Amino acid sequence: MKANVVEQQTDGPAAQTGTNAPEAAERITDLRERIDEIDNALIALWQERAALSQQVGKTRLASGGTRLVLSREREILERFRAALGADGTQLALLLLRAGRGPL
């Protein structure tokens, strides 16, 4: 079975979008702009979440509490797994690590 591959070009719509069809190239460009907006929002939310999580940990430790609350981590893992499947579990693990650091 042949793969439909557009040859690499250094200019023109195919270089940026993978197609020489102008309407498709325009649609792809529009979709990618929205993807970039979502990526920027995700990055900002990731950073905010990590900062909040770090504040929770510092507050808990300063009050004599434990470094981790495993029941809370399990709750987060389950929420992401239920919504996104196995990839959700991996995403949740990354989020937890960003907030608390490696174990």
Q: 25, 6 in Cβ contact below 8 A?
A: no
pLDDT, one tens digit per residue, over 32-77 is 999 999 999 999 999 999 999 999 999 999 999 998 999 999 999 9
Q: pLDDT tens, 10-35? A: 566 677 999 999 999 999 999 999 99
Type of residue numbered 6: V
Q: What is the DSSP letter of 96?
A: H
pTM reported for the whole predicted model: 0.78
Binning pLDDT at 50, 70 and 90, where does residue 102 land? Answer: confident
